[in-house]
């Protein structure tokens, strides 16, 4: 297996500024297929900004990145979603007044094709597609373990279920890379534990996972490799145990949780 | 007579009015991120109240300038109360509602104001009494009268005061703090609701001044005058960069110029096909073009939406 | 699935059928009943109500589904109406048939919708509202002034003697005897408008529950998230805009044929705002609510117009308040109050009702569905 083939997402020299603030500077990293890659760093380090750059919500100022061997620059988010990057949001962004099921069904949008004509005539093709969408969405809701009725509005789900629903919605796009922005935030220990199991299952199904997390135990227990951002720079990268002992990382966290 | 110069003079006069009204839009937008759709109607109410005051005082024998001052104070007072009331009733309860909700209540408020005005003052055009001197002067080939000179000067003075207020006083600092980051400002002990109320009242007072200016300039008052004026002033605020005080001033003057030059030359440019009755179209074209090519306006900063 | 006894289900079904049949008979008999009870003038008003419901349903796609506030929607109505009027009146001496002119008007409105939408749909919600408002005004100003130097629209005087809708040799502009009944023109238009309205409702329902409809609602709920989920928001929004405009244009054509006369006055800001009110008051995104809003906002003011004058006369001996401004005043107040009290509109959408009884669906099936990413 060649190295290039093995790499799914490859960032080199990525920079992003907001006015005078360098939210990312010269960040290079590569994520291999099938791994769970952790991204950690203090608050405001630029983790979410990195997500926004690779999902097309922000345009980077310097550098480039390739995904699955193709370079993307100034691409719209939906193009990157099409390419196979799906994400969740740090501050949950569900379609609040749509049901849990519909939220996941929206995720199928880019893998299905029925248009106005199909909607109006409900021809055999459109009906079959719609049935497949519903079935897949139900399966995914079970898969991520949402116990509430599928017709519940997203905004009425519990916090933990909302986070899971975001994951289900992202999975519905058939991603190659699943990018999760602090999925365990606000979860209790049991919920975190079952989230961990879920992420392992997802990885086992062949999806690569990029994970932002503050929960060090989760990162240690789950990630194959970890990168540390601080003030927009990558200050360390490696297997979790190694990174944990890295003096620069300890300094960045001021002897905090990572020490 | 020099047409170009004349159109520039007219444009600057009209532009000063736009600028004053635009400031009201921009201040509210800067603080609440909300288009105060009813602002144009506040201008109309200002003009109407001033009209009524001048009519009441016409027989009093007071000197015209005093009458005008009393009318100005009254209409500013009424408008401030109105602005305060609008914010309390139509906007404050919806501060955490979806974006479109306050826009719709704002439309409701402007419909109500317009129809109340129609009930009080009738559907007809009213003549606004000429209280200011209006001898005309020749200025390098263009005609300008005293009213127009006064309009420009007053507008400049008011804008200067506003800038001083915002940048040099405690209140101004509180306003800027709330605009920058409401929750942080609240933590620092700024009374957010108070600041918002004051902002609405300030904007409404400016609207009253502007209302009197338009009435004095054209000599005509009408219950429907606020709608189009408000829309154009909003365009001016967007043109300059909404949320930005200097931008609103610049945008107002520019829009006035564009309109009057456009109306003056469209006939020649289109070979006589379009006439000056298309004047109102310019503002909207400008609005659409600015929003498409530079949504942040001439002096606004680009801000990305946070994800 | 909840276990409902078969007999109960059949029972429900029968009830539904009875209700449906009753509704159908009512709708069919409505013009005759109205004519007998209230007079011919009210049948006309009912016709207008249907036209406005069509408009409101069209705008509902834009505002209710996709969440794009369009304050210049009446412009598309105007485009359709003028297209019909110019091609079917003595203005240019053209008398093209209805079945060409009406689709043409709808198509033209659609083109206008795309032309306006393509550059502006990336704007944030309230900016879009203002731009569309400006667009509406531009169209009106042009209609008002395109009478010189070349007379196209006949300016403020408008266009009169527009051909009535004629299907084959059957003109809806005159009285007909059918099945032993006398159908005056307003009755015939009623049935035409009813058919078109039902068609629009059908289309809306189908769209609502489809891949495209879900994409619209996703955009309405959270545009950034929708984009990140792979929805090409620009195209999908444009589609909503174009669909809405098409409906508006078609309604405009019908309006021109029905009235026989149009002028720019019918296409002002007030009319745009009125349609928005119908959508918002009734309940954005809910077809039944929108229909309710349309009915209320056409009939109430008419009732006020007919009732307010006499009532004031009876009470005060003279007309104190012009009924026209009274009705607008009530509009304004209603808008404010409804937004403050019931932000979701008078008739809560299905989504909201679902909240009240969340347990209609789904007991979990097997928990072990395997996720397969290569699918
Ligand atoms: N749209 C924006 N405009 C201006 N500044 C921004 C924007 N988005 C992010 N920033 C700034 O960029 C820096 C990095 O932010 P980012 O959200 O990426 O941090 P983070 O690592 O995700 O932090 P946290 O752990 O708190 O989520 C911060 O200083 C933030 O204020
Ligand atoms: Mg973050």
Question: Largest alpha-carbon pair distance within chain A?
Answer: 65
pLDDT over 70 (residue B301): no
Number of H helices, E strands in chain B: 11, 4
Say which ligand is closest to the CA of A40: 1
Atom of ligand 1 nearest to the CA of A51: 18
Query: From the CA of C176, how many Å to the nearest CA of chain B?
Result: 43
Range list of β-strands (E), B201-303: 220-221
Q: Is the CB of A12 under 6 A from ligand 1?
A: no
Chain B nearest CA to C235, separation (Å)? 17
The pLDDT of A119-131, averaged and rounded, is 91
Name every residue whose Cβ is closer than 8 Å to that of residue B124 and which is 6 or more positions away in sequence.
B222
For the CA of A182, the nearest atom of ligand 1:
27
**Could you read off the pLDDT of C138-178 as tens digits, one per residue?**
888 888 888 777 778 888 888 888 888 887 777 777 777 77
C-alpha neighbours within 13 Å on the C-beta side of residue A175: 33
- Whether pLDDT at C355 is above 50: no
Q: By three-state DSSP, how is residue A108 classified?
A: coil
* Residue C334 forms contact with B (CB below 8 Å): yes
B-chain CB neighbours of C271 within 8 Å are none
Nearest-by-CA chain A residue for C370 = A143
Find which of A57, A80, A87, A181 to mutate to test the B interface (most B CBs within 10 Å of its CB). Answer: A57
CA A214 to centroid of ligand 2, rounded, Å: 10
The per-residue pLDDT for C7 is 60
A98 preceded by cis ω (within 30°)?
A: no
Atom of ligand 1 lying closest to residue A232 CA = 14
For residue A107, what pLDDT is reported?
95
Looking at residue C360, its pLDDT comes to: 35
* pLDDT score for A3: 52
| Percentage, residues of chain A above pLDDT 70 | 96
Cα–Cα dist B159/B140, whole Å: 27
Considering chain B, what percentage of its residues have pLDDT values greater than 70? 94
Query: In the complex, which subunits touch A with 3 or more CB pairs below 8 angstroms?
Result: B, C
CB B296 within 8 A of CB C122: no
Of A232-241, B83-92, B267-276, the least confident = B267-276
| Span C252-281, average pLDDT | 88
Provide the 10 A C-beta neighbour count for residue C91: 19
Among all bound ligands, the one having the nearest atom to the CA of A39 is 1
Average pLDDT over residues A19-25: 90
Bridge-based pairing of strands B220-221 and B126-127 is antiparallel
A42 lines ligand 1 (CB under 6 A): no
Nearest CA to ligand 1 atom 4: A18
What count of other Cβ atoms lies within 10 Å of the Cβ of residue A180? 26
Mutate to test the pocket of ligand 1, among A20, A48, A92, A214 (most ligand atoms within 8 A of CB): A48
In chain B, which residue's Cα lies nearest the Cα of C118? Answer: B292
pLDDT band at B272 (very low <50, low <70, confident <90, very high): low
The pLDDT score that the predictor gives to residue B304 is 39
User: What pLDDT does residue C9 have?
Assistant: 61
Per the model's pLDDT, the better-predicted residue between A90 and C14 turns out to be A90
Which ligand approaches the C-alpha of residue A24 most closely? 1
Q: CA–CA separation, B75 vs B43, rounded Å?
A: 10
Q: Which residue has the higher pLDDT, B63 or B271?
A: B63
Which ligand gives the minimal distance to the CA of A230?
Answer: 1
Q: What residues of B are in contact with residue C65 (Cβ under 8 Å)?
A: none
Cβ contacts of B29 on chain C, cutoff 8 Å: none
Helices (H), A42-158: 47-54, 77-83, 100-107, 116-121, 124-144
Look at residue C174 in the predicted model and tell me its pLDDT.
73
CA B84 to ligand 1 center in whole angstroms: 36
3-state secondary structure of A209: strand
Q: What is the tens place of the pLDDT at every residue in C82-135? A: 999 999 877 777 888 888 889 999 999 999 999 888 888 877 777 788 788 888
List the single best residue of A44, A54, A58, A80 to mutate versus B (max B Cβ within 10 A): A58
pLDDT score for C3: 53
C332 to B110: CB separation less than 8 angstroms, yes or no: yes
A48 lines ligand 1 (CB under 6 A): yes
Residue C160, helix vs strand vs coil: strand
Give dist(CA B231, CA B211) in Å, integer.
14
Q: How far is CA A107 from CA A127, A131, C229, in A?
A: 18, 15, 6
A150/C297: higher pLDDT: A150
CB-CB under 8 Å, B304 with A48: no
Distance A46 CA to ligand 1 centre (A): 6
Note the pLDDT tens digit of each residue in C285-331: 788 888 988 888 888 777 777 776 677 677 766 666 676 777 778 87
DSSP string computed for B229-252: HHHHHHHHHHHH-TT-HHHHHHHH
> What is the Cα–Cα distance from B105 to B38, expressed in whole angstroms?
9
Chains that touch B (3 or more CB pairs under 8 A): A, C
CA distance A140 to chain C (A): 7
Q: Ligand 1 in contact with A66 (CB < 6 A)? A: no
Residue of A15, A18, A55 best suited for mutating to test ligand 1, as the one with most atoms within 8 Å of CB: A18
The backbone region for C313, taken as left when phi is positive above 0, alpha when psi lies in -120 to 50, beta otherwise, is alpha
| pLDDT over 90 percentage in chain C | 29
CB B307 near ligand 1, within 6 Å: no
Q: Which residues of C touch A (CB under 8 A)?
A: 203, 206-207, 210-215, 217-218, 221-222, 224-233, 239, 243, 351, 354-355, 358-362, 364-367, 369-375
| Burial (CB count <10 Å: 0-12, 13-18, 19+), residue B61 | exposed
Q: Which residue matches tokens 């300016």? A: C155
B146-155, B239-248, B284-293: range with lowest mean pLDDT: B284-293
Q: Which residues of B touch C276 (CB under 8 A)?
A: 104, 107
pLDDT surpasses 80 at C373: no
Q: To test the ligand 1 pocket, which listed residue (A16, A23, A47, A87) has its Cβ within 8 A of the most ligand atoms?
A: A23
pLDDT tens for B164-196 read 998 899 988 998 888 888 888 888 888 889 999
Q: How far apart, in whole angstroms, are the C-alpha atoms of residue B138 and residue C251?
A: 55
Query: B100-121 vs C125-145: helix axis angle to the nearest 10?
Result: 40
Whether residue C231 is predicted with pLDDT greater than 60 in this model: the reply is: yes
The reply to whether A76 touches chain C by the CB within 8 Å rule is: yes
Q: What is the helix, strand, coil percentage profile of chain C, to 5?
A: 70, 5, 25
Q: Which of residues 238-277 of C touch B (CB under 8 A)?
A: 269, 273, 276
Which of B85, B111, B232, B273 has the highest number of chain C CBs within 10 A, making it the mutation to test binding with C?
B111
Asked if residue C129 lies in contact with residue C76, where contact means CB atoms within 8 angstroms, the answer is no
Domains of chain B: 2-131+139-293 (1.10.3470)
Across the interface, whether the CB atoms of A95 and C370 are under 8 A apart is answered no
Cβ of A27 less than 6 Å from ligand 1: no
3-class state of residue B123 by DSSP: coil
The answer to whether the beta carbons of residues B195 and B31 sit under 8 Å apart is: yes
Domain residue ranges of chain C, discontinuous segments joined by + = 18-285
Predicted local distance difference test score (pLDDT) of residue B287: 79
Closest residue by Cα to residue C146 from C311, C263, C276: C263
pLDDT range class, residue B53, cuts 50, 70, 90: very high
Categorize the per-residue pLDDT at B82 as very low, low, confident or very high, splitting at 50, 70 and 90.
very high
In this prediction, residue C251 carries a pLDDT of 94
CB contact under 8 A, B99 and C224: no
Helix residue spans in C173-286 (DSSP H): 185-208, 211-221, 223-228, 233-259, 269-282
Cα(A70) to centroid(ligand 2), Å: 26
Ligand 1 centroid – CA B98 distance (Å): 24
Give the pLDDT confidence score for residue B42 in this predicted structure.
96
- The confidence score (pLDDT) of residue C319 equals 64
Query: Do the Cβ atoms of C204 and C60 come closer than 8 Å?
Result: yes
Interfacial A residues in 188-247 facing C (CB < 8 Å): 201-202, 205-207
Compute the distance from residue A203 Cα to the ligand 1 centre, in Å: 28
Apex CA B205: angle with CA B199 and CA B209, to 5°?
145
A with B: how many residue pairs have Cβ under 8 Å apart?
A: 9
pLDDT at A32: 95
Q: What angle do CA C13, A130, C226 make, to 5 degrees?
A: 115
For chain B, say whether C155 makes contact (Cβ under 8 Å): no
Distance from C-alpha of B126 to C-alpha of B48, rounded to nearest angstrom: 9
Closest CA to C248 of C94, C88, C107: C107
CA-nearest residue for atom 25, ligand 1, is A43
**pLDDT for residue C369:** 29
A46 in contact with ligand 1, CB cutoff 6 A: yes
Closest ligand to Cα A45:
1
Q: Is B302 in the pocket of ligand 1 (CB under 6 A)?
A: no
Share of chain B above pLDDT 90, in %: 37
Q: Please give the CATH architecture assigned to the domain spanning C18-285.
A: Orthogonal Bundle (1.10)
The pLDDT of residue C370 is above 60: no
Give pLDDT, residue B116.
Answer: 92
∠A213-A219-A220 over CA atoms, to 5°?
160
**Residue C82 tokens, joined:** 């003028």
Nearest CB to C230; choose among A109, A115, A130: A109
């Amino acid at each position: 297996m060649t190295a290039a083939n093995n790499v799914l997402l490859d960032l080199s020299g990525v920079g992003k500024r907001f006015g005078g603030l360098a939210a990312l500077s010269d960040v290079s990293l590569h994520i291999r297929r099938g791994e769970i890659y952790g991204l950690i760093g203090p608050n405001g380090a630029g983790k979410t900004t990195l997500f926004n750059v690779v999902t097309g919500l922000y345009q980077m100022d310097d550098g480039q990145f390739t995904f699955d061997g193709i370079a993307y620059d100034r691409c719209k988010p939906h193009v990157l979603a099409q390419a196979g990057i799906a994400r969740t949001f740090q501050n949950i962004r569900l379609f609040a007044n749509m049901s849990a099921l519909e939220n996941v069904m929206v995720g199928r949008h880019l893998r299905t094709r029925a248009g106005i004509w199909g909607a109006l005539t409900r021809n055999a093709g459109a009906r079959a597609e719609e049935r497949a969408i519903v079935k897949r969405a139900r399966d995914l809701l079970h898969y991520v373990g949402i116990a509430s009725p599928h017709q519940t509005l997203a905004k009425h789900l519990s916090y933990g279920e909302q986070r899971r629903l975001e994951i289900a919605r992202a999975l519905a796009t058939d991603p190659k890379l699943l990018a999760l922005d602090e999925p365990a935030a606000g979860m209790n220990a049991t919920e975190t534990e079952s989230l961990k199991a879920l992420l392992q299952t997802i990885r086992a199904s062949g999806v690569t996972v990029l994970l932002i997390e503050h929960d060090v135990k989760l990162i240690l227990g789950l990630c194959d490799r970890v990168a540390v951002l601080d003030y927009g720079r990558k200050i360390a990268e490696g297997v979790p145990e190694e990174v944990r002992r890295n003096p620069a990382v300890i300094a960045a966290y001021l002897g905090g949780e990572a020490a | 007579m020099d047409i170009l110069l004349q159109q520039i003079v007219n444009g600057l006069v009209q532009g000063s009015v736009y600028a004053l009204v635009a400031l009201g839009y921009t201040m509210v937008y800067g603080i609440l991120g909300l288009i105060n759709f009813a602002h144009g109607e506040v201008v109309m109410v200002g003009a109407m109240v001033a009209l009524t005051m001048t009519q009441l005082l016409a027989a009093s024998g007071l000197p015209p300038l005093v009458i005008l001052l009393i009318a100005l104070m009254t209409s500013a007072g009424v408008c401030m109360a109105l602005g305060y009331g609008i914010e309390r009733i139509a906007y404050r309860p919806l501060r955490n509602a979806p974006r479109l909700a306050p826009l719709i209540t704002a439309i409701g408020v402007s419909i109500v104001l317009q129809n109340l005005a129609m009930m009080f003052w009738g559907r007809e055009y009213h003549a606004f009494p000429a209280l200011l001197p209006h001898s005309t002067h020749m200025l390098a080939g263009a005609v300008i009268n005293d009213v127009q000179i006064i309009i420009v000067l007053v507008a400049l003075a008011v804008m200067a005061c506003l800038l001083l207020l915002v940048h040099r006083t405690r209140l101004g600092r509180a306003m800027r703090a709330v605009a920058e980051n409401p929750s942080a400002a609240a933590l620092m002990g700024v009374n957010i609701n108070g600041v918002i109320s004051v902002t609405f009242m300030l904007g409404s007072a400016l609207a009253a001044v502007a209302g009197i200016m338009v009435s004095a300039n054209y000599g005509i008052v009408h219950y429907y005058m606020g709608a189009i004026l408000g829309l154009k002033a909003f365009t001016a605020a967007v043109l300059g960069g909404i949320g930005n005080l200097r931008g609103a001033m610049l945008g107002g003057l520019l829009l006035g110029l564009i309109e009057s030059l456009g109306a003056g030359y469209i006939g020649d440019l289109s070979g006589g096909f379009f006439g000056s009755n298309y004047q109102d179209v310019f503002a909207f074209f400008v609005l659409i073009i600015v929003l498409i090519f530079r949504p942040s306006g001439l002096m606004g900063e680009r801000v990305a939406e946070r994800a | 699935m909840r276990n409902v006894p078969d007999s109960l289900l059949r029972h429900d079904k029968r009830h539904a059928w009875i209700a449906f049949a009753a509704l159908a008979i009512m709708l069919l008999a409505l013009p005759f009943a109205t004519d007998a009870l209230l007079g011919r003038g009210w049948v006309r008003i009912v016709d207008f109500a249907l036209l406005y419901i069509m408009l409101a349903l069209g705008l509902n796609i834009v505002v209710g589904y996709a969440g794009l506030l369009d304050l210049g929607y009446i412009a598309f109505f105007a485009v359709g109406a003028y297209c019909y009027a110019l091609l079917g009146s003595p203005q240019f001496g053209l008398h093209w048939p209805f079945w060409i002119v009406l689709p043409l008007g709808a198509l033209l409105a659609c083109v206008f919708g795309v032309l306006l939408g393509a550059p502006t749909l990336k704007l944030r919600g309230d900016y879009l509202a203002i731009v569309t408002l400006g667009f509406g005004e531009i169209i009106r100003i042009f209609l008002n002034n395109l009478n010189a130097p070349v007379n196209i629209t006949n300016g403020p005087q408008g266009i009169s003697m527009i051909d009535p809708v004629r299907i084959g040799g059957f003109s809806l502009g005159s009285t007909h005897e059918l099945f032993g009944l006398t159908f005056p023109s307003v009755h015939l238009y009623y049935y035409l408008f009813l058919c078109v309205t039902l068609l629009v409702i059908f289309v809306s329902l189908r769209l609502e529950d489809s891949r495209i409809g879900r994409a619209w609602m996703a955009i309405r709920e959270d545009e950034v998230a929708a984009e990140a989920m792979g929805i090409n928001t620009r195209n999908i929004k444009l589609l909503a805009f174009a669909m809405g405009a098409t409906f508006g244009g078609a309604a405009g054509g019908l309006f021109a044929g029905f009235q026989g006369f149009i002028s720019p006055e019918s296409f002002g800001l007030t009319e745009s705002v009125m349609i928005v009110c119908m959508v918002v008051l009734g309940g954005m995104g809910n077809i039944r609510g929108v229909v309710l809003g349309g009915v209320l906002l056409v009939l109430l003011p008419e009732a006020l117009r007919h009732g307010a004058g006499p009532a004031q006369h009876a009470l005060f001996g003279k007309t104190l308040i012009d009924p026209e401004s009274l009705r607008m005043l009530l509009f304004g107040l209603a808008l404010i109050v409804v937004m403050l009290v019931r932000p979701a509109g008078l008739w809560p959408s299905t989504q909201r009702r679902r909240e009240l009884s969340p347990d209609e669906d789904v007991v979990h099936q097997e928990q072990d569905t395997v996720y397969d990413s290569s699918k």
